[in-house]
Amino acid sequence: MELSTVEEIFDLMMQREEKGATLYRLAAETVSDREARGLLEKLAQRCDAYRERLSQSKARGAFESRRSTLPDRNFAGTIEAVPVGPEARLVEVMMFAISKERADYLLCEEGARRAPNAAAKKLWLSLAEEERTQRLELEAYYEKEVISKI
């Protein structure tokens, strides 16, 4: 996937967050594990909040363009692989969520590298930090609640 402008990175982030929220909610409706369901619902809410922040930032003109091609890092690939179904276990949900947050972090970092000005770069780095923080929270939860019970 080649992305040429900051707007294209923004559009991909919006799509990923919308799709992530939808898939997390769908998975939450189908999993039988209460803990996994709660986690999926929380992740869906975070996607909604993140998408709202992106929207507000775009309305303020934060995603102005600077054309250059981005390397293909499979930014879109992991979003399709959410484990959906009544047999999905917490470990599978966690692995998907961690993978998604990592890909989103990399995408925001790329946005920061391509930012046309200091304000846009600061915004992208802030978004990247949110993604990193979410991934670290998920990893800590995974270690505490999944790994420790194996």
DSSP state of 69: P
Q: Return mean pLDDT, the chain.
A: 77
Kindly tell me if the per-residue pLDDT of 37 is higher than 90: no
Kindly tell me if the per-residue pLDDT of 85 is higher than 80: no
Report how far residue 39's alpha carbon sits from residue 42's, in angstroms, rounded to the nearest whole number.
5
Q: In the prediction, which pLDDT does 62 show?
A: 63
Class of domain 6-66+73-149: mainly alpha
Q: In the prediction, which pLDDT does 45 show?
A: 94
Burial track 29-60 (b if 16+ CB lie within 10 A, e otherwise) = eebebeebbebbeebbebbbebbeebeebbee
Q: In the prediction, which pLDDT does 68 show?
A: 44
More confident residue, 131 or 148: 131
The single residue listed with the structure tokens 């992106």 is 54
**What pTM, to 2 d.p., does this model score?**
0.70
Segment 111-141, tens digit of pLDDT: 888 888 888 888 889 889 988 988 898 888 8
Q: In the prediction, which pLDDT does 39 show?
A: 83
